[in-house]
Structure 1
């Protein structure tokens, strides 16, 4: 293997012809650098090459003809270069082992290459963003294993013919045809996908084709459809109610069309958006190749798995009218809703406040009237909000996320008032005086006398309250009940900074890892750019995690918890302060906390390399960068952190959600156990704590299904699953695998029964000389995942065994 992909200092220059002298090379990875020039013309001398990854460089020229000699290629990725030439002139027919081909984002011309259809093993093809022309040939049906096809942004024609042909690809799950077939009519024939066409289709991209016609009825037959993009077309007519019957649909983009009619109330019944349970059941497959999507055309993002896309409905820039249905509050799972630039009228439903996962809400450019519901302050994850250019009136809410929105979110509403738009709201006295001036002189005099008396009394009352507010209730510390005061990130609004500090006090814990001595809520808001989406680095069970770069250069990870945690403020503080006592080199240190305007913040050390889950399962080729010594070091470190929680920390802690995404890695790939958000503290020597069942699918011990009891041995089971992930490179549950091997624990146990334990090792680790060590760790992991909790070892025993993996000491089954 020759691999220098994604190095921190990117390589420049050309790929020298001398590399072809490495005749035994099977893997050549030079992606994500700054290489220029052409692909070596003698690349074909690397006849044993199986993986050629040169994507994301600045390579020019054509695909050398000698490349056809690399008949053992399994993966060929040349995406994002400046390659050119007639692609149909290249002979692909010798690549009988090729499963993945990515030539996207180049300058290739010609038609879809006819010789490509001889590559019977192909499962993923991307030819997007080139200059290909013509029609899709029926010979593409010879690619029976094809599940991923992206040929967007070319010059293909005859969409009706294309769909009639492509429906014959029985395994197709991702179909991206956007920006082709310009100005054609989208096929309306309900029989176009018969018989049994597109029954596995999960992703359909038809954006930017300038299609005319209406939303076709045959989409109702795509029962597994999860993502639908029909944006940037000229599709007219109403939104069909039957879209709400697609049980797995969670991402729908119909923006920038000519759609008319109302917002169908049936859309509020979309199962995958209305119920978290239904959403959890949606098949979460991994893309054979990463896809690049504009989340509502905001920014180009890479997605490696389907579940990475935000649950969203985009209906902006159409001609929809009527009121927004109050049933909108049913879409509990929704993260993004865009209704901008339509003709919606009526008031903003207060039911929006039920959408507690909402991150983006765009209602701008409509004819909405009335006030902005004050209850929207409860949307603690809302990072984008706009009601600009409507007919709204009244005071703009303050507090919560509303203190982070700029005046552009509210412009074009002449009757709105509030500090954010620097327009004061009229007082009640002025309103009464104006109304009284229309009465008789006698009534005016009477009203004025009453008004002056009332005003004088009010003035005294206000002065009294002001004096009292200056007196410290508890000079020795912070009051148990702090009155939250809204703080605008854009202006101090004349409030003295000392009052702000007291209202949203940032509490920092003294520990050796804490480089931050003083911190204010202003600095937190600024360092996270007001909790902007661009700074989100993770999502846990109770909230989003943001990267915060402080003025002194220190980087923190700040978890913004959901507002309704079932804990009173005093209980929350007590629990957090107890957790702060857990300090160990293999734990993510809790640096402090803050309660601000209805939401709660936890501040942790920032881990540069993210989570183990990211490197094993999410990062392109990330697992290949984790060799066995690194994986063993991660297992050893994580076990030490968990042992500290179980046996040393006072009081002892049951983590309750051990998983690879909760094991974070610093710049040296040292493991740190994270996220005690699901933890419950237990007294020393107590063995369990009874509470609701929590955890993550694939990591939950079998006994948790019989009794809602979280135990130390349950943590050991979950850690055993993590060790199996490190050994096998597989997820705990993988719906893409055959039924008998979907669940990692059961599959590994069965393979051991059959004497095939050496076959469970990650192929990236085989043949490197560590098989004996891996077998020892496999034995430890299998003891940890025993169905009988009393046969599982203690975490202290696991620590000792992992420490002695290089010795002859073998663990003994209980």
Structure 2
């Protein structure tokens, strides 16, 4: 996979860097003395980075680092080349005195502020401008005099306003203004002459118009990127006239309409990225005629119909992602065998039927497969072990059967790091074959999800042998027994979800000693590296969140919706590196430990729907990262703390605790008498014994039968890897 990615990368940027270095080669100039105007202007720049430049007024500026002067005895500076020199501050207006400058590169510094208003008008001889990766702001100055410009790179700054069409002069071949805040239109007019343009990158801006038909006049264009904007409308037919186009990248816009059959005219196309738009209709049936295609990324659209059979002719295909569309058909009838270079296949969140495609087993380069949320049936075949490079497999939310058999087979995939099988195997016993944890099985596994399968049984003990495991999801099952303390013996585990099961007993003290959650050294040593495909997490009915690498997944313990009881141990204060702690909808009693205030990285704390009593510890307001907090529906009393993050919480965080007082409660004053008359029963969560006694008392004195019911409408879904995104 790495080799294929490098090949694609080299192909993609070969033209860019080739032209760049050709333009950087200057003729061998004779030595000349730097004139005073040039020298003084340059020294004003040097003052902004005195420790990083060896410039001195006592030496000829033509000999300074990063400076080249022109031929003859005029001493004109023609090249100012200072990338990555730690330059700061604003770009001194004195730079406009370098009127013979042809090459300007101040990239990868920390320049602030706007460009000098007369920069382009004064430096009219400029051929190369690279100001990328700074912190420059504002609008671009007038640029109608830079008629010789060939390379313009202003990417990764904070420029705004519209992109003036005058800056895209006919001589420009490389134009990159990506990762700014430009708005308005793509600066190409229908009648403009842009026949020199080969590389156009407008991605990561705020462009909000349509793609102009004039793009079809850029006859030499090889790379066109305008993703992550707000472009609308359809692909203009003229775009299919760009016979030299290698890359068409327009993801995350609002483009609509079908993918025109004219796309087959782009016979040199290697990368087609138009994901996260609103394209509809079928994938062109002859898309396989694009024989040079390496990356086909059409995911998150409204595409319909079957997988085109011709796609098997794109034998150079490395990445195929059609996730989250409305594609149909029997997937097992498609022949993947010719796609020997395929490394990544994502067909999740569609309506494919059939069994797991056996032809995939011959695609020996595969490292990642996602077939999540389709309508696949059957069992995993032993032939899958032929995929020796397979690291990521997700087939969650299908109709697969025989979980134990599947795991016995899959443990033969020695390089498997992420295995997501949730929402399959309904009501089967949880796989408890102790051989699954042998030294020849799952020893590379980092992410393991079996949520939503309605498994019966207990948490399998063979999991204790998976020493590389980092993420474990067994939520939404029918697992009984207690929370196993041996989970703390897994040295890399930082994310546990056992929510929505039938677990009993208390919060094990051993769990308070999880190495990654208690030790900075252990946390830093965990290799939370890149995932071959993103995982999607949906705890607590929150919006799906996409994680492309495990380092972004918040360390968490989810134990909600079980029958856990007892007190919350004070040892929980050892989990200093946890970000999410959810113990809601259990039967915990006693007070909230003051030691929770030691969890200084905590972002979410949910203790709602328990039997906790006492006061809310005032020390919790010292949790400066806490953005989600709930102690609703307990038996807490006293004043709700104020200050810190508590000033950001709403009444819903504290409701259902009649003993609480303060501005965010019905009892706004802690000295106020209860408002309800004594004969009215306050509806609070009580123990079963309390509820029965209250009902008996009121039945005797008033002859009224009370029935108190408790319904839970906050049903969750297993967290990892299956929701449409």
Give the TM-score band, short-chain normalised: 0.5 to 0.7
How far has the Cα of 1:136 moved from its partner?
0.4
Which residue of 2 is the match for residue 534 of structure 1?
A: none
Classify the secondary structure of the residue corresponding to 2:434: coil
CA displacement 1:224-256 (0-9 Å, x = unmatched):
111111111111100111001111111111111
Which residue of 1 is the match for residue 391 of structure 2?
A: 147
Residue segments in structure 2 that go unaligned for 5+ positions in a row: 1-222, 232-253, 675-725
Q: Does 1:369 align with 2:613?
A: yes
Residue segments in structure 1 that go unaligned for 5+ positions in a row: 431-814
Q: 1:394 to 1:66 in 2, by over 3 A?
A: same
| Paired residue total | 430
| 1:263-342 matched pairs, under 5 angstroms | 263-342=507-586
CA displacement 1:19-73 (0-9 Å, x = unmatched):
1122222222221221111111111111111111111111100011111111111
How far has the Cα of 1:341 moved from its partner?
0.7
| 1:398-797 matched pairs, under 5 angstroms | 398-427=642-671
Match of 2:590 among 322, 346, 351: 346
Q: Does 1:8 align with 2:230?
A: yes
> What RMSD, in angstroms, separates the aligned Cα atoms of the two structures?
1.6
Match of 2:297 among 21, 33, 53: 53
How far has the Cα of 1:193 moved from its partner?
3.4
Is the 8 Å Cα contact of residues 366 and 389 (structure 1) preserved in structure 2?
A: yes
Classify the secondary structure of the residue corresponding to 1:48: coil
Q: Structure 1 length normalisation: TM-score?
A: 0.52
Is the 8 Å Cα contact of residues 2 and 27 (structure 1) preserved in structure 2?
A: no
Which residue of 2 is the match for residue 119 of structure 1?
A: 363
How far has the Cα of 1:13 moved from its partner?
0.9
Which residue of 1 is the match for residue 491 of structure 2?
A: 247
Rounded Cα–Cα distance in structure 2 between residues aligned with 1:366 and 1:137: 45
| 1:190-201 matched pairs, under 5 angstroms | 190-201=434-445
How far has the Cα of 1:277 moved from its partner?
2.1
Classify the secondary structure of the residue corresponding to 1:36: strand
CA displacement 1:446-471 (0-9 Å, x = unmatched):
xxxxxxxxxxxxxxxxxxxxxxxxxx
Match of 1:128 among 355, 372, 380: 372
Rounded Cα–Cα distance in structure 2 between residues aligned with 1:298 and 1:244: 27
Rounded Cα–Cα distance in structure 2 between residues aligned with 1:307 and 1:75: 24
Which residue of 2 is the match for residue 166 of structure 1?
A: 410
Rounded Cα–Cα distance in structure 2 between residues aligned with 1:297 and 1:280: 30
Rounded Cα–Cα distance in structure 2 between residues aligned with 1:427 and 1:4: 62
Q: Does 1:69 align with 2:313?
A: yes
How far has the Cα of 1:8 moved from its partner?
2.4
Rounded Cα–Cα distance in structure 1 between residues aligned with 2:406 and 2:322: 26
Match of 1:157 among 401, 408, 426: 401
Classify the secondary structure of the residue corresponding to 2:320: strand
How far has the Cα of 1:139 moved from its partner?
0.5
Which residue of 2 is the match for residue 236 of structure 1?
A: 480
Match of 2:454 among 189, 199, 210: 210
Q: 1:5 to 1:130 in 2, by over 3 A?
A: farther
Rounded Cα–Cα distance in structure 2 between residues aligned with 1:297 and 1:138: 36
Match of 1:87 among 315, 331, 352: 331
Rounded Cα–Cα distance in structure 1 between residues aligned with 2:487 and 2:540: 19
Rounded Cα–Cα distance in structure 2 between residues aligned with 1:194 and 1:156: 24
Rounded Cα–Cα distance in structure 1 between residues aligned with 2:508 and 2:344: 41
CA displacement 1:121-177 (0-9 Å, x = unmatched):
000111101110100000000100000111111110100000000000000000111
How far has the Cα of 1:6 moved from its partner?
3.8
Rounded Cα–Cα distance in structure 2 between residues aligned with 1:88 and 1:210: 27
Classify the secondary structure of the residue corresponding to 2:522: helix
How far has the Cα of 1:426 moved from its partner?
4.9
Classify the secondary structure of the residue corresponding to 2:326: coil
Rounded Cα–Cα distance in structure 2 between residues aligned with 1:256 and 1:278: 29
How far has the Cα of 1:194 moved from its partner?
2.7
Classify the secondary structure of the residue corresponding to 2:445: coil
How far has the Cα of 1:406 moved from its partner?
1.4
How far has the Cα of 1:12 moved from its partner?
1.1
Rounded Cα–Cα distance in structure 2 between residues aligned with 1:181 and 1:79: 23
Classify the secondary structure of the residue corresponding to 2:282: coil
Q: Highest CA radius of gyration, 1 or 2?
A: 2
Which residue of 1 is the match for residue 4 of structure 2?
A: none
Rounded Cα–Cα distance in structure 1 between residues aligned with 2:601 and 2:365: 41
Classify the secondary structure of the residue corresponding to 2:521: helix
Match of 1:392 among 633, 636, 647: 636
Classify the secondary structure of the residue corresponding to 2:532: strand
CA displacement 1:286-344 (0-9 Å, x = unmatched):
11111111144422011110011111100000000110000000000011100001011
Rounded Cα–Cα distance in structure 2 between residues aligned with 1:78 and 1:209: 26
Match of 1:32 among 251, 276, 279: 276
Classify the secondary structure of the residue corresponding to 1:117: helix
How far has the Cα of 1:211 moved from its partner?
0.9
Q: 1:276 to 1:295 in 2, by over 3 A?
A: farther
Is the 8 Å Cα contact of residues 559 and 583 (structure 2) preserved in structure 1?
A: yes
Match of 1:175 among 416, 419, 425: 419
Q: Structure 2 length normalisation: TM-score?
A: 0.58
How far has the Cα of 1:391 moved from its partner?
1.1
Rounded Cα–Cα distance in structure 2 between residues aligned with 1:297 and 1:230: 17
Q: 1:184 to 1:326 in 2, by over 3 A?
A: same
Rounded Cα–Cα distance in structure 1 between residues aligned with 2:659 and 2:619: 20
Is the 8 Å Cα contact of residues 606 and 631 (structure 2) preserved in structure 1?
A: yes
Rounded Cα–Cα distance in structure 2 between residues aligned with 1:410 and 1:171: 47
Is the 8 Å Cα contact of residues 662 and 670 (structure 2) preserved in structure 1?
A: no
Is the 8 Å Cα contact of residues 35 and 57 (structure 1) preserved in structure 2?
A: yes
Rounded Cα–Cα distance in structure 1 between residues aligned with 2:629 and 2:229: 38
Rounded Cα–Cα distance in structure 2 between residues aligned with 1:400 and 1:250: 27
How far has the Cα of 1:402 moved from its partner?
1.3
How far has the Cα of 1:195 moved from its partner?
4.3
Match of 1:99 among 343, 346, 359: 343
Classify the secondary structure of the residue corresponding to 1:11: strand
Structure with bigger RCO (C-alpha 8 Å, 6+ apart): 2
Rounded Cα–Cα distance in structure 2 between residues aligned with 1:204 and 1:258: 20
Classify the secondary structure of the residue corresponding to 1:13: strand
CA displacement 1:497-530 (0-9 Å, x = unmatched):
xxxxxxxxxxxxxxxxxxxxxxxxxxxxxxxxxx
Is the 8 Å Cα contact of residues 436 and 442 (structure 2) preserved in structure 1?
A: no
Pick which of 54-63 and 288-297 moved more: 288-297
Is the 8 Å Cα contact of residues 464 and 490 (structure 2) preserved in structure 1?
A: yes
Rounded Cα–Cα distance in structure 1 between residues aligned with 2:432 and 2:419: 18
Classify the secondary structure of the residue corresponding to 1:356: coil
CA displacement 1:564-596 (0-9 Å, x = unmatched):
xxxxxxxxxxxxxxxxxxxxxxxxxxxxxxxxx
Is the 8 Å Cα contact of residues 364 and 388 (structure 2) preserved in structure 1?
A: yes
Rounded Cα–Cα distance in structure 2 between residues aligned with 1:356 and 1:241: 23
Which residue of 2 is the match for residue 78 of structure 1?
A: 322
Rounded Cα–Cα distance in structure 2 between residues aligned with 1:165 and 1:225: 19
Which residue of 2 is the match for residue 674 of structure 1?
A: none
Is the 8 Å Cα contact of residues 294 and 316 (structure 2) preserved in structure 1?
A: yes
How far has the Cα of 1:399 moved from its partner?
1.3
